[in-house]
Amino acid sequence: MAQIMDYMISSQPLRMIDLTVDPAKLSVRSLVIRNVGYLPGRTHFRQGAVFQYWAIVYIAGGSGTYRVDRGEAQQVTAGSLFLFQPGFHYDYGPDPGGYWDEYYFTIEGSRHREWLEHWPILPNAVMHPGEDASSQNRIDRIFALMDSGTPADADRAALTLESLVYDWVQSCQSSPTSQGKTARLAQLLQALSGTLHEPFDAAAFAERHHWALSTLRRTVSEYTGFALHEYVHRLKMAEAKNRLLNTEQTVKEIAAALGYGDVFYFSRLFKKITGEAPQLFRRNMRSK
């Protein structure tokens, strides 16, 4: 296992291991660990970092902050977990005069897409699975497997990492921090539902509800899968469908009631989202 000194990062020896086998020899191709590292006593704060590969970062000690694309700085403490994605800009590291103990796992392959689609994972947020002996034991095993230099052990390291990340993410579901985030998300979605009958102004909404606009957009996208304005349009179209089926309001009246001054724009949006023009939707549904 390589140990190096880099006093710009830490005054303690750093441990780093690269994948030394040909990825073509691996049996697990959808999740490949390119390298792992342990940076004890890290003091270096990095700004504007952009990464080529996905990375999983676990902080075993100390504290600091993590920020994505100049959004809100998020607090990092011992037992925190966060991700790096290609193409984003990250500011992260310990507080001035402080430190943190960092483990990182750089990965490639398609497996992470399933994590994002089906796991309760937050790709641009700090998660807090906490500290326990089992996590440390599995981290140590991953390092040992990567250090062996055999294809089979590289596969085992990847599978061990996936199991560890799964348990970390699941443990966040019941943590007080996670419950607090869930409650705030529910409040946000309820507030967005309250904008159905007015033109939507993202900046004004963010200011009124004490969100940074960039964080608001990112949060809605992460939790709903839609950009902020598209999500609001979809809420409005759901209400439009209800009115088309259960009232005699004209399309123009419904558009105005939902904050659309241009009935033609409203109709185009309705067809884009539902697949049918408003009048056709009303006629087809009422004929069933």
One-letter-per-residue 3-state SS of 16-32: EEECCCCHHHCCCCCCE
User: Is domain 180-286 given the CATH code 1.10.10.60 in the classification?
Assistant: yes
Please say whether the dihedral angle defined by the alpha carbons of residues 222, 227, 228 and 230, taken in this order, is positive or negative.
Answer: negative
User: What pLDDT was estimated at residue 270?
Assistant: 94
The reported pTM is 0.62
pLDDT tens sequence across 219-229: 888 877 789 99
User: What pLDDT was estimated at residue 26?
Assistant: 95
Which distant-in-sequence residues (6+ apart) come within 8 Å of 28 by Cβ? Answer: 155, 158, 159
Which distant-in-sequence residues (6+ apart) come within 8 Å of 129 by Cβ? Answer: 79, 81, 135, 167, 168, 169, 171, 172, 175
| Cα–Cα dist 280/212, whole Å | 40
User: What pLDDT was estimated at residue 287?
Assistant: 75
User: What pLDDT was estimated at residue 189?
Assistant: 80
| Cα–Cα dist 29/117, whole Å | 19
Which distant-in-sequence residues (6+ apart) come within 8 Å of 227 by Cβ? Answer: 217, 220, 221
Amino acid at 255: A
Q: Are 220 and 226 in contact (CB under 8 A)?
A: yes
pLDDT tens sequence across 158-208: 999 999 999 998 887 654 444 555 567 777 887 898 898 999 999 999 999
Which distant-in-sequence residues (6+ apart) come within 8 Å of 242 by Cβ? Answer: none
- Judged against a pLDDT cut of 60, whether residue 240 lies above it is answered with yes
Amino acid at 199: P
Mean pLDDT of 23-32: 94
Indicate the pairing of strand 46-49 with strand 32-42: unpaired
| Cα–Cα dist 167/129, whole Å | 8
Mean pLDDT of 137-163: 95
- Judged against a pLDDT cut of 80, whether residue 282 lies above it is answered with yes
pLDDT tier, 116 (very low <50, low <70, confident <90, very high otherwise)? confident
pLDDT tens sequence across 54-112: 999 999 999 999 999 988 889 999 999 999 999 899 999 999 999 999 999 999 999 98
- Judged against a pLDDT cut of 90, whether residue 11 lies above it is answered with no
Residues shown for the chain? 288
The domains of the chain are located at 2-174, 180-286
User: Is domain 2-174 given the CATH code 3.40.190.10 in the classification?
Assistant: no
Which distant-in-sequence residues (6+ apart) come within 8 Å of 22 by Cβ? Answer: 151
Q: What is the mean pLDDT of the chain?
A: 89
Mean pLDDT of 14-35: 95
Indicate the pairing of strand 100-108 with strand 90-94: unpaired
pLDDT tier, 145 (very low <50, low <70, confident <90, very high otherwise)? very high
Q: Are 28 and 110 in contact (CB under 8 A)?
A: no
Indicate the pairing of strand 46-49 with strand 80-84: unpaired
| Cα–Cα dist 281/284, whole Å | 5
